[in-house]
Structure 1
């Protein structure tokens, strides 16, 4: 049986991906900095190991006996203008390149790098879906770090024979995504409404995003992992966009108002690190790997609201068990 290693597999996307890999018939090992608590184990069929993939002994334990590696880790996602590239390179780029080197010592091993379709392209030349061949012109430290790793991976594929591919998910959302973490507008808006907190919107709210349910991302990664070509990159999105204002006012607010609550929006000056338009062209993943995202935004928003409403109290703190998947 093919064994898949998910580095960072206890995170939001990784947790769903682990279950999806099991469903696809893979044996699954999840590696993260800590072992899960008993009530956080989503399946008894998943093997868990603890360690730091940047440390060689830990990494060797993670890689032992696996056939496919999915790299999901990104330490301290930085978006601010005052963020420095030097610590970002030390935290994320250098350990990942060391991972590439170690993978070369395992003949036949395949690697999937989970990049960021929402940030690596930067601001596109036109307002149309962005295909994989578009230039990578990120405007944030996070996006720059992801694109640097992509470029390094391309070198390893071309010159050193590493078998690998890249997936670029759009803006992820869904049950299990924690609010107030600097990423994940949808759960943050919902939890803020429950707890009576204001929501800060950078800019005027007209920025367009491609929001994709985490289950679709997990299925898209499995599709690329199974049928994707060596050295290729694949967008994982919906091909449809919605403005931040529409997302909040048309999709989230009606659910909040139905519970006798409201959303307090506070608009502030743009940070200068957020792209104004990002919709991913998904034709390549559909044509090559046979995958198309299926979850309508309204369904996914409702599912996420149910999860947030169950897990987050109005007292301002998460309730017990709130991080578990539905």
Structure 2
């Protein structure tokens, strides 16, 4: 089977590439060549910009045919329309990497199934939902079989550990130095993360699989954790005591620094737990790497590559914590005086 991955060197796609290479797949990657490559030698790579649609479609005409195309970097409707032009009637299956952000929040029921109404609250999720619609319609027309994959937080070697302020690795440095950690809300909202190795196996299980044609699948973590437990797991992986957790409501975060806290305001404040049973049944998807073990692997990679930033050089967290606690004390004193 000839497989093309559009992307192939990102976090999830590197894991897919490596696993397919180990299986001896006839594999080609298409990307701009700007990302540091963490794939084995011998994998064929075509360079180009898929956003230059005319040139991309010409390159695909010349490069094919392929049995299966996996699109890891499709983000806007124009990307979906372009791949239809490029591959209509020329491939058996098109696998699209979407996201659980298409569901938005809060959900109507938990755990979230694939038939959950899609009500994205971010531009990223809204565009992914539009891509899904365009591609599924192409599948219904018979242009090619379509499979939609919806990962959630995916982490591992080559990436980092996300937190209430995003992706900066100063979070890990703060943990190691015993500095307080900002947590959105009261820390009781549920979350789940999945290591890249497990997510990749889900994608591979969909390749050439008739059960997956015309279907959407959650491929997410199954170790449902409160955010407080999430941070406990990180501390355990680092071998340090859990620092003090400072809980700040998401609506306050939105007033303090909407850009810095955007991921908590838009996504993390909602429970994010998903039903993977369809992927388990059809694709052989399994959650095998526990959270603490996965964090150890990720941090080991970050340490080995000098990727952990010095938190002393970014005082933002400490300034927010100081202001939050100062005003909280003032509020308590004011209310106490009123009650006296």
For the aligned pair, the TM-score class normalised by the smaller chain equals 0.7 to 0.9
1:62 CA drift (Å): 4.3
Corresponding residue of 1:141: 123
Q: Which shifted more, 18-27 or 200-209? A: 200-209
1:190 CA drift (Å): 2.0
Q: How many residues align?
A: 294
Give the CA RMSD over aligned residues.
Answer: 3.1
List, as ranges, runs of 4+ consecutive aligned residues in structure 1 with deviation greater than 6 Å.
179-184, 195-198
Is structure 2 residue 239 aligned with structure 1 residue 241?
A: no
Q: Secondary structure at the match of 1:281?
A: coil
Unpaired segments ≥5 residues, structure 1: 76-91, 318-326
Tell me which structure has the larger Cα radius of gyration. 2
1:162 CA drift (Å): 2.5
Instruction: Report 1:58-97 matches (<5 A).
Output: 58-62=56-60, 64-65=63-64, 66-73=66-73, 92-97=76-81
Q: Secondary structure at the match of 1:123?
A: coil
Alpha-carbon distance between aligned partners in 1 of 2:151 and 2:221, rounded to the nearest angstrom: 10
TM-score, normalised to structure 1, is: 0.78
The answer to whether the 8 A contact 1:169-1:237 is kept is yes
The answer to whether the 8 A contact 2:146-2:213 is kept is yes
1:109 CA drift (Å): 3.5
TM-score, normalised to structure 2, is: 0.75
Corresponding residue of 1:321: none
Pair 1:125–1:190, CA change in 2 (3 A): same
Q: Secondary structure at the match of 2:100?
A: coil
The answer to whether the 8 A contact 1:191-1:308 is kept is no
Q: Deviations over 1:86-115 (max 9, x none)?
A: xxxxxx221222112221052x34210001
Q: Secondary structure at the match of 1:269?
A: helix
Corresponding residue of 2:12: 13
Corresponding residue of 1:46: 43
Pair 1:112–1:47, CA change in 2 (3 A): same
Pair 1:94–1:201, CA change in 2 (3 A): farther
Q: Secondary structure at the match of 1:99?
A: helix
User: Could you say which structure has the higher helix fraction?
Assistant: 2
